[in-house]
Structure 1
Amino acid sequence: MKSIFRYFTSKEGFIAILCYLFTAVFSHLAFAPLSYSYFIWIAPLGLFYIEKKYRGEWKKLLWHGFGFAIAFYAVSFYWIYHMVTVFGGFPWFIATPIFVLSAVFLNLKFPLFLLTFSFLVKRVGKFFPWLASFSMLFAEFFTPQVFPWYFGSVVAENHILSQNAEYASSYGLTVLLFLFSYLLFQFRNPKRILILIKRVRNSKPNADRKLPIKRTGKMWIGFASVLFVFLCYWVNGYYLFRKWEAVSPIGTREVLIVQPNAPLEFRDGRSIVETINSLMKRIDDLSFEGAKDQKVDLIVLPESGVPFFSTNDTEATRLAGIYWEKFESFMKTLALRHKANVFFNELDVGFENDIKTRDALVTYNSSALYNPNGERRGSYQKVFLLIFGEYMPFDWMYALSGQTGKFAEGKSMDLIPYYGTDHNKHAPVRDLEWKDMNFFTPSMVSEYYKENRVDETISGSFLPLICYEVIISEYVRKFKGDPDFIVNVTNDKWYGNTVESFQHHTLGRMRAIEFRKWLVRSTNSGTSVITDHLGRNLNDEFTPIDSSAFLKGTVSIIPGSMTFYRAYGNVLPWFFLFLSALVFGYYVRKSR
């Protein structure tokens, strides 16, 4: 410990800290919500400096990798500490080591990059920008991450370059970043550029200059190869941007997002009854305000928009005590009075292996759809659960945090059909409100609106995702069929008024580009947004964080069911990794 303190108080240690902060701060500035994407091109320079200074000193490179990991998390992912204290309920003296350990374990890409890059530079001794790209891609592929963040995701803040994700995903943009960034690092001293130009100008084809000419020529070839790839990304991105911008939608849907700002829990002693009633009234008012005087095809409530309850009246939900008749009546009312599909999140419960006992109950994080006639139709149970949030890897760990859920994985990955109606047909009936639910059962609501029933047909389908699932690209592409758009319901309230919600969306918006489908993001407490198939946020309009609000927008249905990424996934990054491994492996073997 003393030696570490002595090192970081020395000039050498101070420079190392500056390098950590350089990479962390410029990555943060390039990432959401600031999104100054041009800063990302210089962010890796801190990594390159440390690698060059300690090249071949494996132990030092490993420790410096941990330093980058902690600095990066402290600057951009500080909200994880907030989650550990608020969600987990841990005091600061426990939350701090949890934060540091998670920062190291979930950012092993930094030490792995430094070690891999340094090894290849020593053994290969050429192709430096390509070695850098290979090393970071290798590190991103083979290190664990709970909240997947890749350098390419930040490059994608540039709307032109982000279009390349349709083919190469975020990983392909990581390759581009480290190619070009290392080129900048090599020419960080302007004198090197002048020397290179002078060598070419003064080169003569005689025997004395064969070796310098050959070396200089290789340098120019390497320099030109990087610029050529860089140019190709820009040209292809521009082509794809213009191509998809010109595509005419085959239809549109009016979508209303309701952001109710539901409470997380009731540990502060508040009245559950009063709070839930206030929440339902808020949803009622926001729905009225958002849908008044205009047709709405789909109303979307977020994850945990109405916590702890279910509208699914089954033996299992009644045994678990989570079915709430008023909740079902209210969801039917929203659908019937607005003649709209209503998609909302709830708890659902089933019996494991059809054993109908309390011990066999399993809980699902579920979202369900009511059609415009107030009938329950499709539902989706979350499949990709969040570790430490929705499950613990070991049973004994549940005692550490009473807030961690114990959910089962859903099985179905089907699209959710939604329904269309004639909004021009009106029936002379007074609209029911939340306060009326004290006197109306679900069947009474249906009877009340029976004159308001309309003919309906299946208009299409959407791809449902709950919370964290939207940032797992390889998971999302497993859904079958051709959705009209993507709907992501999430609850980011656990992270408070931090940048997490913007970062969550930035990573999720890549699915809109990969699938060329619009994305509807409905959050409990902000920020909700609608993103088009080019990755642009509709009217650049976000709902405010930690507040109740609604957002209404027209979602376009883009024709075409299969992009390259959706069909083949990360095949191009894997091909680059494999081909590079063969080439660099040859030189490593040759250097023995």
Structure 2
Amino acid sequence: MRTLFQPFMEKRFLRLFFIGIIAGALSVFAFAPFSFWPAIATSIAGFSWLLSQSKSHREAAWFGFSIGLGYFGAGVSWIFVSIANYGQVGLALSLFITFAFITVLSTFNALAGYLCSRLFLFTPTLSKSFIISLTFLFTEYLRSHLFTGFPWLLAGYSMEKSPLFELSPIGGIWLLTFACLLSFSVPISLFLAKKDEWKKEMISLLAVILLWGTGVFLSINNIQWVIEKDTIKTTLVQGNLKQNEKWLVEQASKSLSYYQSATMDHLDSDLVIWPETAITYLYHQVENHLKPFQHVLMESNTTLITGIPYYNQENERYHNSIWAMGEGFGLYFKQRLVPFGEYVPFANYVGKLLDLFGMPMSTFSAGERNQPVLQAREWGVAAFICYEIVYPELVRSLVKDSDFLITVSNDGWFGDSFGPVQHLQIAQFRAKETGRYVVRSTNTGISAIIDHNGHITAQAPQFIRTTLTAPIKTTMGTTPYVQYGNLVVITLILLMVLLQGLSFLQKTKQ
């Protein structure tokens, strides 16, 4: 342990470690609500430069960790809002849990630093910028998949306002992340490169030029990957219930009455969407009660889609679900649950010890894979609940059978923090990747409609009880990303490995 923390005894190391924290923290300005994409350079270029200053593999890992502390400390600070306001654990423990979470995320950056330092020595055929980008991409992929994953603040999400955003339908968020990492590590690597390293770095530079050039070309020519079909008049109902009141027994009837009343005012809409668990009664408790309301919806040719908790009496499991009724049908059970919010990990061993929120939601079970899409009249609807929209592979798996996407959420947990706006930004990428409209209905906001190009066409203000009515369009066809997944980014990586390997062989023969 003493050896692990030994670098902290040196002033030089502490100075560089602090620089890493600042460089990582400044990257928060690259994401929503700021969306100043060049700011992502501070963490990526800072990481590249700090690696050049490290004297050992251990130092490289610590410098990567420092970038992560700043990056996630600033970027996911909204976690603290949720735990402090609703976690029932007090201020001190809320700070500790938040710091522990940020520390865990930062270990992936530490792993990237360590692997880079090792690979610099053992892979002389590859440029340093390529090693940095590929290694970081690998650890980001790990972070997004291990233990249900946390695919938040991927570097590619900072590219929404840049030409690289146009690459989303081709290679998805992983192509954008790789392109972003390569773009901001190449300048530092070129500046620090020795004479015999220039040729390899130039291959990385050419890849960057190709990626940005393709993005500019697609942007200028307004290339469309799908064809617009039907127009659907859609209404989102935003109840704006306070999180600490949402699950109160006395609130359930009042809440349901409001949503029904707001819907009755918009029966001229083809589709009405209520947020995640807008109905706090269980499905079997209200199914019969809502049959007269369903009849009214069918008479007006209106589909209602709402979030509702579901209890399966056969296996005694609860599900966070979405229900289509009226002139539509289907139930969807959430597949990706939020640890501690919707289920308690290792609950059989720790009981309620780790149940931070003490809510009915904390006993949900995950739904099966390969669930069919919902039906809204003749249209197929791929539905996702809250956090699920951040999983590109999950969204991609349901797109081919859908005409548009919906995501229902309750971001009331995160108050007036970066969380809801970052969540909305991620949904924009799912729309761009898949060539489908994304309709986002939330309890406290931000409710919005996103077109198939990833642009927000209508948006409701936060923390207001309101409705939002706007048209959406169905689309036909699939994007290259939906068709081929990550094949594009994998092919690009293999091609760069081949070209740099050939460059190295040519150099050894001279």
State how 1:552-563 maps to structure 2 within 5 Å. 552-560=469-477, 562-563=478-479
Q: Does 1:300 align with 2:256?
A: no
State how 1:183-582 maps to structure 2 within 5 Å. 183-186=186-189, 215=195, 219=198, 221-222=199-200, 224-241=202-219, 242-245=221-224, 248-266=227-245, 272-273=249-250, 275-284=251-260, 286-287=262-263, 291=266, 295-307=268-280, 309-310=281-282, 312=283, 317=284, 322-323=285-286, 326=289, 328=290, 331-332=293-294, 335-336=297-298, 338-352=300-314, 360-372=315-327, 377-395=329-347, 396-400=349-353, 401=355, 402-403=358-359, 405-411=362-368, 413-419=371-377, 459-479=378-398, 481-538=400-457, 541-560=458-477, 562-576=478-492
Aligned to 2:57: 58
> What code does the residue aligned with 1:17 have?
F
> What code does the residue aligned with 1:127 have?
S
Alignment partners' CA distance in 1, 2:296 and 2:6: 62
Alignment partners' CA distance in 1, 2:340 and 2:30: 28
Number of residue equivalences: 494
Change (3 A) 1:253 1:186: same
> What code does the residue aligned with 1:255 have?
T
Identity of aligned residues (%): 22
Indicate conservation of the 8 Å contact 2:16/2:50, yes or no: no
Q: Provide the aligned C-alpha RMSD in A.
A: 3.4
Aligned to 2:131: 131
Change (3 A) 1:137 1:150: farther
> What code does the residue aligned with 1:405 have?
S
Moved more, 396-405 or 549-558: 396-405
Name the SS for the 1:389 alignment partner. coil
Which of 140, 157, 161 is residue 158 of structure 1 equivalent to? 161
Moved more, 337-346 or 140-149: 140-149
Change (3 A) 1:331 1:128: farther
Change (3 A) 1:239 1:297: farther
Name the SS for the 2:98 alignment partner. helix
State how 1:136-155 maps to structure 2 within 5 Å. 136-143=136-143, 144=146, 146-149=149-152, 151-155=154-158
> What code does the residue aligned with 1:61 have?
A
TM-score by length of 1: 0.75
State how 1:42-57 maps to structure 2 within 5 Å. 42-55=42-55, 57=56
Alignment partners' CA distance in 1, 2:51 and 2:58: 12
Indicate conservation of the 8 Å contact 2:435/2:452, yes or no: yes
> What code does the residue aligned with 1:386 have?
V
Q: Does 1:86 align with 2:2?
A: no
Unaligned residue ranges in structure 2 (runs of 5+): none
Indicate conservation of the 8 Å contact 2:275/2:306, yes or no: yes
Alignment partners' CA distance in 1, 2:321 and 2:135: 40
> What code does the residue aligned with 1:365 have?
N
String of CA shifts for 1:332-369, please: whole Å, max 9, x gaps: 276257541100111111133xxxxxxx4211111111
Task: Kindly name which structure, 1 or 2, has the bigger radius of gyration based on alpha carbons.
Answer: 1
Unaligned residue ranges in structure 1 (runs of 5+): 193-211, 353-359, 420-458
> What code does the residue aligned with 1:71 have?
G
Q: State the Cα distance separating 1:167 from its structure 2 match.
A: 2.3
Q: State the Cα distance separating 1:288 from its structure 2 match.
A: 5.2
Aligned to 1:21: 22
Change (3 A) 1:159 1:10: closer
